[in-house]
Amino acid sequence: MIIKFNKVRLKVIPLTAKNKKALAHYKGSEIVLTPGFNDIPEDVWKELRENSSRIREDVKNKYLVEFKAKVEEKIIKGKDGKPDETVTKLTGKEFNKLSEEDAKKVIEDTWTIKTLEKFAKDETRDDIRNTILDRIKGIKDRTIKDKKE
């Protein structure tokens, strides 16, 4: 799932015992999001979102944006006097399934080389792949400036 972090600082998400998928995937006690676009496995993001009111609040306030994700909410009627329950289904879009315009937008605001390398590995469109490789080179050479600078 492609997540955009709309702050000019790092966001550290501490992992707890409730975050079994995240702990297994990241093999550490935290996830660090950089400003701009980040890539987090969809099942991990769903678990984090479900278990953290802070993440849900950041999504609501648009500090964290689930880029091109489809969110469906469904109300399940309660039975035997139980209250109704709202169930949220979240489906992300993989980088290589984005339109060319959206892919370039993501590349332009991704600052983590590891994320860009993952995008390049899965990308089959030559133009997008070259844009990713140019971005990686620019970050490594320190020739790319943030628009905010």
CA distance 146 to 38: 16
At residue 53, the 3 state secondary structure works out as helix
| Radius of gyration of the CA atoms of the chain, in A | 17
Exposure string over 2-17, b if 16+ CB within 10 A, otherwise e: bbbbeeeeebebebee
Q: Is 62 left (phi over 0), alpha (psi -120 to 50) or beta?
A: left
Residue 48 covered by a domain: yes
The pLDDT score that the predictor gives to residue 146 is: 66
Exposed/middle/buried for 36, CB within 10 Å: 0-12, 13-18, 19+? buried
- The domain of 114 spans 95-149
The residue out of 53, 69, 85 marking a domain boundary is 69
Same domain, 3 and 64: yes
Residue 9 covered by a domain: yes
The residue out of 35, 52, 69 marking a domain boundary is 69
Residue 112 covered by a domain: yes
Residue pair 122/96 in contact by the 8 Å Cβ criterion:
yes
Owner of token pair 């628009």: 147
* Number of domains, the chain: 2
Residue 75 covered by a domain: no
The pLDDT score that the predictor gives to residue 149 is: 47
Find the helix or strand (DSSP H, E) in which 78 lies.
none
Same domain, 60 and 3: yes
Total Cβ atoms within 10 A of residue 132: 25
pLDDT by position in tens, the chain (length 149): 999 999 999 999 999 888 898 888 887 789 999 999 999 999 999 999 988 999 999 999 999 999 988 877 778 777 877 777 777 778 888 999 999 999 999 999 999 999 999 999 999 999 999 999 999 999 999 898 765 54
Same domain, 17 and 60: yes
Find the helix or strand (DSSP H, E) in which 30 lies.
strand 30-33
Same domain, 10 and 61: yes
Instruction: Single out the residue of 12, 76, 90 nearest to residue 47, CA to CA.
Output: 90
Same domain, 54 and 101: no
CA 73 to chain CA mean position, Å: 20
Residue 86 covered by a domain: no
Residue 84 covered by a domain: no
